[in-house]
Structures are given as structure tokens and as C-alpha cells.
């Protein structure tokens, strides 16, 4: 029996790996244990896997007993650890150096410039004066973001030079926060400024096989500010633009050194052509994998488990969708959640895939400043992208998250 080591993630990943006939050894952070993890694992070890000095001897012991021949994760915080394990045992998966390029947005920009892949200007920022200098050189708006964070945390679009001082003071304040969701995995540290990219935004879901990149789906992406508000696929692009985006993303992954596995790449189609915003050598979030399953019949999570063992066929370079799918997020007014309205009508809709609440009665709803602050989402299918997107928007509008003001201390 082949053995896979999975680092972090949800129980569903383990279930899919075992359904393939794999023996599953699971390495999880104790703060991220969920119901179902124990039952879905053949062996389970708890450690802060973001700390390599703690993790290395445990992984050595696991390998001496179980002789795993592949390691994978679908979580951002685990990818560099997975790279170190690949390097240590010569497993052939994505090495640490490549995973670091995907995680560190400043390194990514510098590397793309060296490789001649069109990208955007970027520079590390240590103070407001650096932002002002960047704005003088490249113009406004300027995008300010943490170098290695996630979920749009700390991302700000600075429209004018007059706003720089206030934005920088707020950005620095995030470093002192100890109440951020998943803050132990994604502390806010270094910042960079980036040249603003114009045009509509998309994400590109791909899977690579020995250096050949299958562009599985191009997803329309909608935002309110920098917070993602909806997704729909397949993207409504002309055949020519679809091919241009696919070619650009393939060249991007080749330049980054990715040879195997799933990737999620955010781009804009600018006035100069496709340009990458950022990319990740892991599964997309936002329930995009569920949209891909319903539109294309391709389970990227299953492929991530199976591909190292050759258990599933290599995907074509551009799979064809048979349906469409979409998701729209909803939010409540700031306060304490007391209940929900509209769920019955939503659950009756024949095109609903799932209604997913991120909050429960008693939870706090705060002002939405990043993707962690939304209240839930509806996930639907449809005959085409326009129909699916309209259904998702309509159902999301039916949901009311009821809140009351928080009591004063």
C-alpha cells in the first residue's frame, strides 16, 4: 500500500486520499484539529508544522516507520514545510525554493523580472516615505500589501499621496494585533508596494504534470474594494483572450519552476495584457474547487492526492466545462449574531449546491476589511455563467444575518 503524508488541511482531503486506497499519515497543528480528522487518518501526529525545528525530527521518525513516498498540503501555511520535506527525502514534489517564491510576493516579482515574464513593479516598504517615493516613480494608485499574508489581509489601494501617512499608520498597527483570524499562521510583518494593475480580475485554476500545465478553469472574480464578493466560472472571455490568459499562466508557472500539482493564480487582464497579481502552489479557497467540480467534473483536491502516484489520467491542457457555477458572499451588520432570515427559500432552490454560514448565533460580526470578515456564501450551478451568477446573487440577497449591537464594556 502506498503511503502519503498530508500536512494540515480539512478532513475531506484525508477521506479522498483513503478512498484512493492510500495509507494516510496526517500531520496537524493542534489548534487546527477538526471533527473527522482522527477517523480519516491511519496515523496522526500533532505539531506546530510551521516550526521546522520541531517538525523535522517528527517527520524523520514518521518516514522511518511509514516510508511515505509523497507529501502534500492544500493549505498556504504548510507549503514551505512540504517543500522542505520533499527536499529532505528526495520525493520529487515541489521544492522549498519554489514554494517560497509563491509565498513571498516580493521575491516573486523580482524573479519574474529576471525571467522576462511581464509583471508589475514592486519594492519593499519600511515607512511612509518609501511609499511616497514609489508613488512618484510609478504613479497612483499604489497597492500596499504584506509580503507573505493571505485573504487580502492588510491590502490597501492608496489613491493619493495625501493618504499615505494614514494608510501606513494603520498598516503598521496590524503588526501589533493579537486577535487576527489565523494570526499564528499569518502574522503581519514586512510590506511591499506594487504598481496598480488596471482591468478586470480573474483567477486561474491549474494542475501541472511533470512541467505541463493544464489550465483547468478561468474564474471571474468580483470585489468590493479588495474583499472578494463573488466568483463565477467558466469566465466569459473571447476564445482569443481565453488562449492568451492560458498561455500567460503557463509561462508564469514554468518561470516559477512549478512542475507538479495544483495552483491558484490571480491575474488582471490589463490594457497591456494579462498580468499576475499573486499565485499559490495550493488549492484555491472561496469554495472555488466546488465550482470546478460542478462545472468541469474535475476534483482538484482528489487530483492533488492521486497525481503523485499516477492514479488518475493526466488532464488535457484546457478542459471543457459542461455547466457553470458561481458563488456570492453575504455579510451582516456589525454586532452580535442573533439568527438568520431567508434560509428556507434559499434551501428550496434547485440550483443551490450549498448555503454556507461562517458565523453562528453569539458570534461577532465586524466591519468587512478582509476576506475573513464575511458572514457566509451561497454556491450554485447553472446552465451558463450568466445564469449561475444571477442565481447566486439572487439567493445571497435573500439571506439576512440578524445582529444586535455589542454591549458596551
pLDDT tens digit sequence for 255-271: 999 999 999 999 999 99
Write down the pLDDT at residue 175: 57
Residue 156 has pLDDT above 90, yes or no: no
* Digit-coded pLDDT (tens) for 200-235: 999 999 999 999 999 999 999 998 877 889 999 999
Write down the pLDDT at residue 74: 84
Cis check: omega of the bond before 141, within 30 degrees of 0: yes
Give mean pLDDT, residues 124-142. Answer: 93
Cis check: omega of the bond before 234, within 30 degrees of 0: yes
With vertex at residue 249, the alpha carbon angle to CA 247 and CA 252, rounded to the nearest 5 degrees, is: 110
Mean pLDDT taken over the chain = 92
Beta pairing class for 43-46 and 23-28: parallel
Residue 390 to residue 130: CA distance in whole angstroms: 43
Write down the pLDDT at residue 150: 46
Give mean pLDDT, residues 352-368. Answer: 93
Write down the pLDDT at residue 167: 84
Residue 71 to residue 91: CA distance in whole angstroms: 8
Task: Count CB atoms within 10 A of the CB of residue 67.
Answer: 12
Integer angstrom CA distances of residue 304 from 4, 129, 371: 11, 44, 25
Write down the pLDDT at residue 322: 97
- Here the contacts of 104-107 (C-beta below 8 Å, separation 24 or greater) are 104/147, 104/148, 105/145, 105/147, 105/148, 105/192, 105/194, 105/278, 106/147, 106/190, 106/192
Res. 180 pLDDT band, cuts 50 70 90: very low
Give mean pLDDT, residues 78-84. Answer: 94
Q: Label each residue of 41-100 as H, E or C.
A: CCEEEECCCCCHHHHHHHHHHHHHHHCCCEEECCCHHHHHHHHHHHHHHCCCCCCHHHHH
Residue 302 to residue 318: CA distance in whole angstroms: 18
Q: How many CA atoms are closer than 13 Å to the CA of 249, on its beta-carbon side?
A: 34
Residue 342 has pLDDT above 50, yes or no: yes
* Digit-coded pLDDT (tens) for 21-72: 999 999 999 888 899 999 999 999 999 999 999 999 999 999 999 999 999 9
Residue 150 to residue 120: CA distance in whole angstroms: 19
* Digit-coded pLDDT (tens) for 295-339: 999 999 999 999 999 999 999 999 999 999 999 999 999 999 999
The whole-model pTM stands at 0.91
* Digit-coded pLDDT (tens) for 362-384: 999 988 877 788 999 999 999 99
Write down the pLDDT at residue 177: 44
Using an 8 Å Cβ cutoff, are 223 and 155 in contact? no
Residue 254 to residue 265: CA distance in whole angstroms: 13
Q: Which three cell numbers stand for residue 121?
A: 513593479
Beta pairing class for 201-209 and 227-233: unpaired
Write down the pLDDT at residue 353: 97
Single out the residue of 215, 190, 230 nearest to residue 279, CA to CA: 215
Residue 114 to residue 289: CA distance in whole angstroms: 32
Amino acid at each position: 500500500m502506498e503511503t502519503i503524508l498530508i500536512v494540515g488541511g480539512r478532513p475531506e482531503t484525508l477521506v479522498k486520499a483513503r478512498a484512493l486506497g492510500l495509507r494516510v499519515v496526517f500531520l496537524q497543528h493542534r489548534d487546527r484539529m477538526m471533527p473527522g480528522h482522527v477517523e480519516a487518518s491511519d496515523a496522526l501526529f500533532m505539531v506546530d508544522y510551521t516550526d521546522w525545528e520541531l517538525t523535522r525530527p517528527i517527520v524523520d521518525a514518521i518516514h522511518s516507520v511509514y516510508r511515505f513516498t509523497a507529501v502534500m498540503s492544500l493549505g498556504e501555511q504548510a507549503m514551505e514545510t512540504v517543500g522542505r520535506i520533499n527536499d529532505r527525502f528526495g520525493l520529487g514534489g515541489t521544492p522549498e525554493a519554489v514554494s517560497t517564491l509563491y509565498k513571498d510576493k516580493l521575491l516573486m516579482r523580482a524573479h519574474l523580472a529576471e525571467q522576462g515574464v511581464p509583471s508589475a513593479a514592486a519594492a519593499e516598504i519600511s515607512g511612509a516615505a518609501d511609499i511616497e517615493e514609489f508613488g512618484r516613480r510609478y504613479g497612483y494608485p499604489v497597492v500596499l500589501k504584506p509580503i507573505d499574508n493571505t485573504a487580502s489581509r492588510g491590502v490597501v489601494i492608496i489613491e493619493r499621496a495625501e493618504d499615505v501617512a494614514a494608510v501606513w499608520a494603520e498598516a503598521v498597527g496590524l503588526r501589533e494585533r493579537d486577535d487576527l483570524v489565523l494570526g499564528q499562521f499569518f502574522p503581519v510583518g514586512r510590506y511591499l508596494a506594487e504598481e496598480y494593475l488596471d482591468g478586470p480580475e480573474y483567477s486561474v485554476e491549474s494542475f501541472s504534470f511533470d512541467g505541463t500545465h493544464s489550465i483547468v478553469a478561468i474564474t471571474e472574480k468580483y470585489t468590493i474594494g479588495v474583499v472578494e464578493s463573488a466568483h463565477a466560472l467558466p469566465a466569459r472571455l473571447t476564445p482569443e483572450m481565453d488562449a492568451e490568459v492560458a498561455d500567460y499562466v503557463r509561462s508564469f508557472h514554468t518561470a516559477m519552476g512549478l512542475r507538479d500539482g495544483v495552483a491558484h493564480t490571480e491575474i488582471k487582464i490589463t490594457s497591456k495584457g494579462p498580468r499576475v497579481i499573486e499565485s499559490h502552489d495550493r488549492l484555491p479557497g472561496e469554495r472555488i474547487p466546488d465550482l470546478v467540480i460542478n462545472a468541469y467534473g474535475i476534483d482538484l483536491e482528489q487530483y492533488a492526492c492521486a497525481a503523485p502516484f499516477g492514479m488518475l489520467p493526466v488532464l488535457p491542457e484546457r478542459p471543457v466545462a459542461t455547466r457553470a457555477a458561481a458563488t456570492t458572499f453575504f455579510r451582516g451588520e456589525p454586532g452580535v449574531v442573533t439568527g438568520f432570515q431567508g434560509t428556507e427559500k434559499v434551501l428550496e432552490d434547485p440550483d443551490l449546491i450549498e448555503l454556507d454560514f461562517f458565523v453562528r448565533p453569539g458570534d461577532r460580526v465586524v466591519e468587512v476589511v478582509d476576506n475573513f470578515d464575511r458572514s457566509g456564501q451561497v454556491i450554485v450551478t447553472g446552465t451558463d455563467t450568466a445564469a449561475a451568477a444571477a442565481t447566486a446573487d439572487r439567493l445571497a440577497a435573500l439571506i439576512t444575518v440578524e445582529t444586535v449591537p455589542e454591549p458596551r464594556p
